[in-house]
Amino acid sequence: MFKIHTILCPVDFSDASRKAVQYAREFAAGMGASIHLLSVVEPRPMAVDITLNYVPLEEDLEKAAAEDLKLILEELLRAGLKAECSIEFGSPADAILDKAEALDVNLLIMGSHGKKGLSRFIMGSVAETVVRKANCPVLIVKSEEKEFIGDE
């Protein structure tokens, strides 16, 4: 029998990733697994902003992510689940794959924005890269999909 012990759930605070947290919560509750929430902060390219508009630094992004992750983590803990969180810096796909390996997770649940066409070609797909390279099953959750979990 397949036993889920650790679920990695990357969170970028989009609707899709928030829905992925709901799925992770259901799987963890049903299987007695722990959840590890991960937020990845991408380094900003070194460019000069000649308009002098405020561009958030990695430290600002890390602080905001930590505050938002804490709220999600507290909700999971209040529900009686085993959960923890971390923030990594770098390429999202690489950071997710590295964390999955380091934690020896056996299920990865993540949201996908469903970008198509030119934007997907230019930006790539984090979810696609993770699915292709992960050493464990990956459940991709889209914000507009039909849910198979629900309130009973």
Global pTM value: 0.84
Q: What is the reported pLDDT for 123?
A: 43
Q: What is the reported pLDDT for 21?
A: 97
Q: Residues of 32-62 as b/e, b for ≥16 C-beta within 10 angstroms?
A: ebbbbbbbbbeeeeeeeeeeeeeeeeeeebb
Q: Which domains does the chain have, with CATH numbers?
A: 16-92+103-110+127-142 (3.40.50.620)
Contact 58, 44 (CB under 8 A): yes
- pLDDT, averaged per 10 consecutive residues of the chain (152 residues), comes to 90 93 96 97 67 65 92 97 96 96 96 63 73 95 68 51
